[in-house]
Structure 1
Amino acid sequence: MKKILFFFTAVISAVSINAQIGLTASDFTVTDIGGNEISLYADILDQGYVAILDCSATWCGPCWAMHDSHTLEEIHQAYGPNGTNQVRVIFYEADADTNQADLEGTGSATLGDWLTGVSYPVVNESPLQLSGSEYWPEGFPTVNVIRPSDGMIVADPWNQTTFESFVAAVNAVDAGVTLGAVSVSEADAINADVNVYPNPSSDKATVNLSGFTGTVSVQVYDLLGKEVMSFTSTLFKEVIDVTGLEVGSYVVRAASGTSEVTKRISVIR
């Protein structure tokens, strides 16, 4: 009942949802669902990146509207490690009762699949380390934009569900960076694709490259944006050895000419 009441409250009062703008964000270290540790200051702010922290719940209607718009994925692709490298996006599931099935869209407290097509870190933990009074003081969703120079929360564009409006909202405040005009259209890469199998992988993984022309440049990144593997290929299939990688989630990026595709893979033991 509490969830249902909160859901309707969030829908009715959505226009009033705002982060505590002007607050200096407290440091935290969390572990994403791939087993990767992320520290707000050491890994993001102290490196000069703007942090975009989406605090949501899988059962929340306005949260799903933001997620299903794919705006944060587009921001991650355009301005994250594979783009201009100015921003780090994190999804923080802010309901400690949420389970993996809810994230995958098959549970009893979810509005859909929150993982497919998402290449930025997803954190789902219990108990919660982050404080709701700080990071989602008036409910879900709260999308905290945190400035790297001083750790201040400077914006909460929770209802900006297009790429252009989200960028405009960030650029309207002093976030410490200016997000330039970057196209996130996938038209150039519509015929290109990457498939990795088996996924998850424990030792060898096959990377299928289809629809590319010429030499394909392939990089593998951890979810903090560190390159852990790279190679070039003129073939449609390559076998990579992942035994040297730590257990966790990674992003495979393949690019050739104007075509670029990213896929998420997991390494297990």
Structure 2
Amino acid sequence: MRKIIIILFLILPFVGNSQTLLTEAVDFHVKTIDGEPIYLFPLLDDDNYIVVIDFFSTTCGPCQDFADDFQQSYIDFGENTGNVYFMGINWGNDNEGVREFDSIFGLTYPTASGVQGGGNIVFNDFQIQSYPTVVVIKPDHMISNQYVWEPSNANINDAVIEAGGLLVGKKEIYAEQLKVYPNPASEKVNISLPEFKDEIYIDIINIRGQIVYQSLVSSNAFKTTTINLNDFKRGIYTVRTITCEGKLLYQKLIIN
């Protein structure tokens, strides 16, 4: 029976629209290959983390192909020092097998093996249909992205930012295009960006991934817009703009 399940997992990565069947996360407890325990709900409830999980196998080709992409996203969001927590959960191998996989591909984020770390149980609990499956879980336990495909660095970053994740050390990428000032801000904030066609949405997203402000402005009216912050709570937010062409720009906003 176990051989049949493994064969199915090897086949399913090549079938479209594979994903977790859940829309809300269930709690789990795993141990990393170094023996460190990880509990999901405390990460969400106590630490307000956005949790990003790579469900993988050490033997599948796509898992190997995209391992470096997940590692780069882990680095982009601060290596679990920001508001995003990255981890890998394996199916079918033991600690040494996963350790070898991590070493070959230069992976430094926490990983739990399927056999010794509890990964096989989590695969079943999350009803994972294939690997690799990258899921994004918000602090309210909702799964905001059931299947990031393809799991490239850019696609993972977009999915995490959309959930409210904040890039660490990459502000300059967006600062040239999206201007948010003053930052930190208290009473008002100004938002401006280069010329664009048609209309653009401006969203402000809180650390829980919730849109707390949204407006639609035309290209003729939008050079710089000012937003009153009197009704905002203190904290870290993400400013997101979306053009009609689908181009997304992000910038962190701190409200004092």
TM-score of the alignment, normalized to the shorter chain, above 0.5: yes
Query: Within 5 Å, which residues of 2 pair with 1:31-42?
Result: 31-42=31-42
1:94 counterpart letter in structure 2: W
1:66 Cα deviation from its structure 2 partner: 2.0
| 8 A Cα contact 1:45 1:147, kept in partner | no
* Aligned counterpart, 1:60: 60
Please say which of residues 70-79 and 126-135 is displaced more in the overlay: 126-135
* Aligned counterpart, 1:91: 88
1:132 Cα deviation from its structure 2 partner: 3.1
1:145 counterpart letter in structure 2: V
Query: Within 5 Å, which residues of 2 pair with 1:6-21?
Result: 6=8, 8-13=10-15, 15-21=16-22
Looking at structure 2, the residues matched to 104 and 36 of structure 1 have their Cα atoms a distance apart, in angstroms, of: 14
**Residues 1:171 and 1:79: Cα distance change in structure 2 (over 3 Å):** closer
1:143 Cα deviation from its structure 2 partner: 1.3
**Residues 1:21 and 1:7: Cα distance change in structure 2 (over 3 Å):** closer
Looking at structure 2, the residues matched to 7 and 131 of structure 1 have their Cα atoms a distance apart, in angstroms, of: 14
1:40-71: CA deviations, max 9, x gaps? 1213443111101111111122222221xx12
Scaled by the length of structure 1, what TM-score is found?
Answer: 0.53
1:33 Cα deviation from its structure 2 partner: 0.9
**Residues 1:170 and 1:59: Cα distance change in structure 2 (over 3 Å):** same
1:89 Cα deviation from its structure 2 partner: 0.7
* Aligned counterpart, 2:102: 114
1:162 counterpart letter in structure 2: S
What count of residue pairs does the alignment treat as equivalent? 167
* Aligned counterpart, 1:2: 4
Q: How high is the sequence identity, in percent, across the aligned residues?
A: 22
| 8 A Cα contact 2:89 2:112, kept in partner | yes
Whichever of the two has the greater Rg, that structure is 2
* Aligned counterpart, 1:132: 123
RMSD: 3.0
1:152 counterpart letter in structure 2: M
1:7 Cα deviation from its structure 2 partner: 5.2
Mark the runs of 5 or more structure 2 residues left unpaired by the alignment. Answer: 172-256
Mark the runs of 5 or more structure 1 residues left unpaired by the alignment. Answer: 106-112, 185-269
**Residues 1:181 and 1:99: Cα distance change in structure 2 (over 3 Å):** closer
Query: Within 5 Å, which residues of 2 pair with 1:1-269?
Result: 2=4, 5-6=7-8, 8-13=10-15, 15-22=16-23, 24-67=24-67, 70-81=68-79, 85-95=82-92, 98-105=93-100, 113-116=101-104, 117-126=106-115, 128=118, 130-148=121-139, 150-172=140-162, 175=163, 177-180=164-167, 183=170
Scaled by the length of structure 2, what TM-score is found?
Answer: 0.55
